[in-house]
Amino acid sequence: MPLNPQVETFLQQTYAAGFTPYEDLPPEAGRHQEHSDISPARPPEEMAAVEHRFIPGPTADLPVRIYRPKHSEQPQPALIYFHGSGWMVSNIEINDPFSRALAKNCGVVVIAVNYQKAPEHKFPIPMDDCYAATLWVFKHAERLGLDPKRIGIFGDSAGANLAAAVALRCRDEDSADLACQVLVYPPVQYGWHTASAERYARGFLLHKDSMKYYWNHYLRSPADAIHPYCSPLLATDHSKLPTTLLYCAECDPLCDDSRLYADKLATSGVAVHYQRYPGTIHGFIKMLGVFDQADEFQRDVGAQVRELLTVKD
């Protein structure tokens, strides 16, 4: 399918303006570029409350933001959110507009976690941080005004890799009963040889070489690449994982990773909703006010999360 016209125009303007692929930048310069690109196309959603705090992690205190779309005396459902950008270059401040939109459209409390970043903090530290944050939310659910039976996890891109790993670990260690996992264009295996990785290798914002760059900064050694908490597709058992909502973009090197993981989960007896957005690119869900498909995603995920977590207005 051809590119969505909004996406095609955006890509033409981005490359004409001199966009530098992240694989051509050192990590610090990549982080600077990520910060410089932030220009919300619409005002952020108003929240009833936003709380900034630090929680204990295995090796450092972790910043989190808790977004409450409304006040309630009743325990609320929640999504624990792990942001993307290659395990390296983003943070919860950059993702603030998205976290607000997610909270409003899903009608849930969103707890955004600022895990430590590669390459200074390689695997398994980011995953350990996200796992520890998940356990912290469950442990303090009552104090946070949350219903522990209605807590899920959400991740996009590298954050979806972390979310998938956390779901596997929660099942393996029987430590938290997640209500759902929401994975958006997750990289679920080390490697760049799927059909989509070849078809959309360059020119679609996220490059095949970008993923190689990110992965090689995240891993300590080739042995990490086959660890199931690093490459969730390679886990020997995918049964008894939470209901999964899996979304991807057609024109994305990672598109086939989503399809492969959806198939793996489904054949293992996991309830899976898989949805591919045609003619769009990696990162589209953050382009609120720029791509109509970003709003479409918010409507879709909002309806599906509300149904899963039985939100009552």
Residues carrying an active site annotation: 157, 252, 282
C-alpha closest to that of 124 among 220, 188, 191, 211: 220
| Alpha carbons 111 and 83: distance in angstroms, whole number | 11
Q: Which two tokens stand for residue 177?
A: 């009963």
The beta strands (E) that lie in the chain are given as 49-56, 61-68, 76-82, 109-113, 146-156, 181-184, 244-251, 272-281
Q: What are phi and psi of 82, to 5 degrees?
A: -110, 115
| Alpha carbons 107 and 256: distance in angstroms, whole number | 30
User: Strand 146-156 and strand 76-82: pairing?
Assistant: parallel
C-alpha closest to that of 80 among 285, 62, 270, 239: 62
Strand order across the beta sheet in which 181-184 lies: 49-56, 61-68, 109-113, 76-82, 146-156, 181-184, 244-251, 272-281
Q: Which residue has the tokens 């609320």?
A: 76
Q: Which residue has the tokens 């992965």?
A: 215
Q: Which two tokens stand for residue 131?
A: 């796992």
What is the distance of C-alpha 128 from the center of its chain?
16
Rg of the chain in Å (alpha carbons): 18
Give the other-Cβ count within 10 Å of 273's Cβ.
17
| Alpha carbons 1 and 72: distance in angstroms, whole number | 45
User: Strand 76-82 and strand 61-68: pairing?
Assistant: unpaired
